[in-house]
Chains A and B, each alone.
Chain A
């Protein structure tokens, strides 16, 4: 009996040690408290310090400034311009970080997730991996992050992220401010809490893109909501905007197509059997 008792004690001790080790594998005390719901503090424009549209003073190349102007002109007469979000196309990066609707961070040892009320989540891999060779591009891109202990207090306080391998079309904001169609965008972020107010979070976002004459950095500011409510917000539920061909239409109150632009022609019905008069 003493032998059995010893074996049992060893097994129990092993179980206890293993459990403790597993708990230490994800030491939450090493991460900052970014829990809860985060809401944007500015408007829906990309650079929150400037007005939407031309007021953004985006450093676009002449070619892409012309594309942007054409988008604004189309919107001025009721079209959607370059802003494909009206048809529920994912906004992708970097526009996801405008956080039109609230977001939430989830930390795991190898991945940081950003959940959005009205978009697919972002995955930021923090496991030290290298860039994959030929990943399938996505609107949100492939993100690799690194936690930094900037003030050397034993706790991470900055998340540095780089995102590549996006697909398009993508714009920065609803005005249709465009990114390059080659989708070679690189987005770099530094995300951190305000040093004096733990309920304020900053995201310094630098976009490197061939539609720009130089890297473009904006800082987004978010506030923590201590009494959050989460909603289901799915663009496909009841969207009244339709993209048919290259045209944007609007649904009437009784479910029929209406023009969005003055003098807009109806859609091409070439695939419908139409009686000849």
Chain B
């Protein structure tokens, strides 16, 4: 049983938003909304500055507050890969899941249902990678099976220092940032 996740190399990320745009066109996201985004964190007094640039999206957590709070079962865990998805026709737009995410990764689509990154499951099931991973011009994004010790993502996590977002929130996110 694969457990999908991403490993993102912040040393290479330049924060160009190519991933945000590729997601937008691949998934027809309406104007004004984005499933992913760029965070820059910089620290220090000029000129001694450290800066980390991250591309972020739904972390497809292993402990999902957004799935347990859903009253209709619309927000659910896909049977393959542990990907967190929303079944549009079951969603009533109550926004509990939007509130429940500590990363604020969800939003309400203008058509009424809760929306967020889907790890491009429609592509992954055809053997492709998510649109954001495939477009990144710095090749900083990696996608794969975290449960396979020989996968690219697993090997990267074994060999490099990394962190996740909000590790203490208890969500067990599956996107890892190499530093």
- A associates with B: no
- Residues of chain A at the chain B interface (Cβ within 8 Å): none
